[in-house]
Each structure stands twice: as structure tokens, then as C-alpha cells.
Amino acid sequence: MAISKEVKEYIKSVIDPLLTKESLLEIFEKFQNDIIAKFENVIKEKDAKITELESQIAVQQNSIDKLIISCDDNQQYARRSSLRIHGIPTPEDGVEEDINSTLTKCYQEMNLTFNEENIDRAHRIGKCYKDIASGKITQSIIVKFKDWKSRQELYKARPKYFVNGKKKPGRKFSITPDLTIRRYNLLKKAKGQIKDKSEFSYALIDTNCSLALKIKDGPYRYFNSDKELNDIIDEYLN
């Protein structure tokens, strides 16, 4: 379709100014001053708001972390009077277990006398698994004691895995504190992080269910969070 003379002249009037360097520079400066400046101001406002929100989130996350640890400490304290026995095979299918009879045998292995009156309750807990040493199916036993003295008697007499830094063969079962999931995972993480690092001897859970790293030829350093664990490791590795 033919374009009228008037339309051609109009298009030419629009395009011609763009064909000169001065006009292009003028248009760019106007774009920069009017448009880019506005976007820069908006971005600065958004950046300031993001920084403010990040600061608020960091404060809130710190509070949440402290609450998680505080709740975990309370849960762990409630578990102080309990111990877990690992490695005792479960009864054969169809056989009902007398848990007191099982505990009596455990006590006899440690030259102790089992007294049912000292136990608040005891039962199997957790998933069944195949014991590596015996090849038999087993499930942990949790024992809740009525008093701290009875709990400590069993815990102190527990079969040791290491004696003078060497593995002791023939251990039929093991006894550990009843840890919360958070504390158990933190201990597991600590063992993994210091593995093959000569600056540390081992990670442990003490009789009061507190976590610690044993510094080689040094003290025990206690920790109760990822940050505290990492700070201790960094202190001795850097």
C-alpha cells in the first residue's frame, strides 16, 4: 500500500534527529537522568529494606536457636535417669520376653545384683537391627531408674569398649546415656569432624549427658551447639 507524502514526511521528521550523534547523546542523557535514576532510587530503597529484614531474621534465628537448645536441655535433663543397653538379642519369634530376666543377666555379666525395685520401667525401644559382632537381630533396651545412685551403679560398671586406648575384645553389649536426637546428632558430627585429626583424642558424652572433645595431652572442651563445636575445632586447627 502506498504511503502518503504526509506520512513519509512525519516519519522522516521523527527519524532524522536520531541520525545525529548529538541527538542520540541527548536522548541517552534524558533516559539516564529520568529513568535510570528512578530505578537506582527504587533499588537503594529495596536494598535498605532487605538489609533491615536480614538483620531482623538473624536476630530471630538466634533467638530460635537458643530456644531449641534450651528445650533440648530440658528434654535431656528429663532423660538423665535413663540408660540404653545395646546388643542384647531379641527373643525368637513367638517368645515373649521377660525384661527383668534379661536385665538380671546383664547385671550378672558386670558382677552386679539386679534389683527390680530400683527400676521405674524398662522395655525395648527403637528399630531392630543386626548386631555386627553376633550376627543376631537385636533391639535396644531403655531402662529408667528411680534414683541417680542406681543409674550410676550400672553406668560405671558398663563394659568398656576401650581400655588404655586399646579395643577390649569380647564385649557382649554396651550401655549409653539416653540422648536426645539433637544431642546424639551433634556428638556424631563431632566424631566425624575430629576423625584423623591428631589434635584431638576423641569426642564423648559424660555421665551427666554433656558433650565434650578431649584435646590430646590437654583438657576436655565442652560444647552444646554447632557453633561451639566449630569454634573449638578452629581454635586448635588454626
- For 111-123, the pLDDT digits (tens) are 999 999 999 999 9
Shared domain for 228 and 163, answered yes or no, is: no
Query: Residues 185, 172: contact at Cβ < 8 Å?
Result: no
What three-state secondary structure class fits 95?
Answer: coil
Q: What is the pLDDT of residue 75?
A: 94
Shared domain for 123 and 187, answered yes or no, is: no
Shared domain for 195 and 129, answered yes or no, is: no
**In this structure, which long-range contacts are made by residues 158-167, counting pairs with CB atoms below 8 Å and at least 24 apart in sequence?**
158/110, 159/109, 159/110
User: Domain boundary at 22, 51, 79, which?
Assistant: 79
Number of domains in the chain: 3
Q: What is the pLDDT of residue 215?
A: 94
Q: Return the CA Rg of the chain.
A: 35
Q: Is 178 exposed, middle or buried (0-12, 13-18, 19+ CB in 10 A)?
A: buried
Shared domain for 86 and 171, answered yes or no, is: yes
Shared domain for 155 and 234, answered yes or no, is: no
Shared domain for 99 and 40, answered yes or no, is: no
Shared domain for 169 and 85, answered yes or no, is: yes
Q: What is the pLDDT of residue 2?
A: 47
Domain limits for position 221: 179-238
**pLDDT digit string, tens, across residues 35-89:** 667 777 788 888 889 999 999 999 999 899 999 999 999 999 999 999 999 989 9
User: Domain boundary at 157, 178, 199, which?
Assistant: 178
Tell me the C-alpha distance between 45 and 29, whole Å.
Answer: 23
Shared domain for 86 and 167, answered yes or no, is: yes
Shared domain for 144 and 203, answered yes or no, is: no
Q: Low-confidence residues of the chain, pLDDT below 70?
A: 1-36, 161-170
Q: What is the pLDDT of residue 1?
A: 44
Q: What is the pLDDT of residue 20?
A: 59
Q: What is the pLDDT of residue 123?
A: 95
Q: Which three cell numbers stand for residue 206?
A: 559424660
Q: How many CB atoms lie within 10 A of CB 82?
A: 19
DSSP 196: T
Shared domain for 121 and 203, answered yes or no, is: no
Shared domain for 207 and 121, answered yes or no, is: no
Decide: pTM greater than 0.85.
Answer: no
Q: What is the pLDDT of residue 119?
A: 95
Query: Residues 187, 203: contact at Cβ < 8 Å?
Result: yes
Q: What is the CATH number of the domain that holds 150?
A: 3.30.70.330
How many helices (H) and strands (E) in the chain? 7, 9
